Every structure is written in C-alpha cells, then in structure tokens.
Amino acid sequence: MTAPVARLTALATSVPPYELRQDALMAHAAKLLPGIDAEALARMLPVYENAGIATRYSCVPLEWYERPHGWAEKNRLYLDHAVALAEAAAADALDRAGIAAAEVDSIVAVSTTGIATPSLDALLMERMDFRRNTERTPVFGLGCAGGVLGLTRAAALARADPGKIVLLLVVELCGLTFRRSDPSKANMVATALFGDGAAAALVSCAGDGPMIEHSGEHTWPDTLDVMGWRVEEDGLGVQFSRDIPAMTRTEFRDAAHRFLAERNLALDDIDHFVCHPGGAKVLDALEEAFGVAPGGLTVSRAVLNDYGNMSAASVLFVLERTLRQGARGRMLLSSLGPGFTAAFLTMTAS
C-alpha cells in the first residue's frame, strides 16, 4: 500500500501595522538602551548597520520601546496581538485554499514569545468558525526551529489520518521581549534583529501543492546555553551564544549532510535552500555550510532585509516568497533553535 503524501495546500503570512526602519532605531538607540554609556553604545551601533535589515514590523509603536514595561503588560499585549495576527494569516490561508474554517480538523499552534493558557488556538476558536471538535496541539519552546518543526508535526498529523485538514499557525512577537534594563551584548543584538510576524499553512493529503517529504532534527549535547530565554522580572531575556555562526559552519553542516544521506540525498539534489534568516552572519555561515556562493541565499536575505528575524515565522516567509517566485524542484527547509537543535524538511514543488 502506498504511503499517504502530505501536501502544503496553502500558505499565508501577516505582520502588525507598525513599520520600524533600522535607521530610525539607530537614531533612538540611546533612548532605547539608557543603561549603556555613550562609548559602549558607539561600539555597539555597527550591529544595526551590519544586520542586513532595512525594516521590521512591530505590534507596538517605536515610542513604546522607550519606556519600561513589566512582564504582565508585555504578556497582555502578546495575547491580544498574537491572536489577531494568527487570525489574519489563517483567514488568508483558508481563502487561498478555498475552504471554510469549519473544514479544518486539527490546529497546530507554535509560539515561544509569550505565555497563553488557554492556548492561542483556543483563543482563536472564539474568533473564527472552527468546529467545536477541532483537535488542538499548542507547541511552546521551539524558538527559531518552530517553523520547520511545526510544519513537520502538521504533516505527520495529516499523514496519520489522510482525510484530515491540518492548520499550522506560527506566531512570534519578538519585539515584546525587548528589555531596556539589559545592557548585555545579546540584548543589543536582539534589538537590532527581532521583528514580529505570523504565518499560517494548510496541510492535507488531498488537493494540490508541494509534497512534504522527509523531515528530521538533531539536538546536540551540552548546548542548552547556546540559545533560549531567561525569565526576568521585566520579561523574557534573550540568550545567544557568539558561537552560533561557527557551529553552523561545522556541526550544522555535518548534521545536514547526515540528514540527507540517510534519505539517499545529497546537497546536489537540492534545488532551493529555504533557510531561517537568523542574521547576516548566520546566513554567511549557512552559505558556506551548503556550498552556496556568498550572497546566494537571496530569498532568505531579502526576508531578513524586509522583516528582520521573526523567530519561527521567518522560514515560512522565506518559503512563501520562494514559492511565489515560481520555484520548482526539491527544497530543503532548515532552521536552528533552542536545545540546541537543527531542524530539516524536504519539499518538492512541481
């Protein structure tokens, strides 16, 4: 008996209304980070200039970041705006697929930038016409790997019951994690990189769309401190290791080769690399790891330029733009997230 094939039948993205230009953020850096003295700030400003970002989008205006805010206020904003962005992306995906919310059988909701109990999928059910017996799978803690791993989980659910329509929601409001009280380099880098965004994908074994093929992940030992959040009084504190680009060139490259080899594939079999744009240095390292010419990850770099790093949602923005440009053939989706974990997925568009 032939195994069922999961397909991506629709994909849509959404961003909040406030556009933040990188040059404006640089001009406001002293107000955004009052705890950093002028000399240290001058040393850090090249982080903004070299980030490869022109614009980002935020659920709050620039002036909001110039005032202190506590964890409770930030999470209230997260709940309001995350649900609204998820609704916009979901409605667009459903419209593109030509189906109603009531036809969705299962929802996978991925987010790591706020706490929601009831979960985002439950909150969304009060705003959209999903059936009351719709299955819900909220997923927290995957960070930047959540876009690829969320799509993997959605495809697994679709294959387990080929008649199901699965809706994947990925929502990240990274801007709300900004902490004015934190003068660390990691927080400064986050301030120069992070943006807000959401994506929605419909996955089913029926209908048309790119085939979701192989998936895999690798979690390295003794790497829990490479990437993640610290819970602080004024919100989630970012944790970044300066070793991420170096690890991407070596450990990530080796993991990608193993993932492909175990499925009788090689880098030469990949027509398009759909990479999470974590930052300009990470993209440099990914190009080296995959043997792509410098600057060759053009779509990932364009998404980084236009939206910044939206954590788990970013790779789906890259995938949407890649498909919109008419890409055909086999794609390799990849991302790195807390754990420290690499996520991989192959997809073929005909």
Residue showing tokens 């620039």: 62
Residue 144 a catalytic site member: yes
Question: Tokens for 343?
Answer: 């996520």
Q: Peptide bond preceding 259: is omega within 30 degrees of 0, i.e. cis?
A: no
Token pair, residue 244, equals 């991420």
Query: By C-alpha distance, which of 277, 269, 313, 324 is closest to 297?
Result: 277
Number of alpha carbons in the 13 Å side-chain half-sphere of residue 35: 11
Q: Report the C-alpha gap between 316 and 275 in whole angstroms.
A: 9
Q: Which residues pair with 172 in a beta bridge?
A: 197
Distance CA 33, CA 50 (A): 19
Q: How far, in Å, CA of 274 to CA of 320, rounded?
A: 10
For 21-57, b/e burial (b = at least 16 CB within 10 A) is ebeebbeebeebbeebeeeebeebeebbeebbbebbb
Provide the residue type at 31 as one letter.
K
Active-site residue identified among 59, 144, 174, 275: 144
d(CA 214, CA 3): 13
Alpha helices in the chain (DSSP H): 22-27, 29-32, 38-44, 46-49, 71-97, 120-125, 146-160, 185-193, 244-247, 253-261, 280-290, 298-307, 314-324
Residues catalogued as catalytic: 144
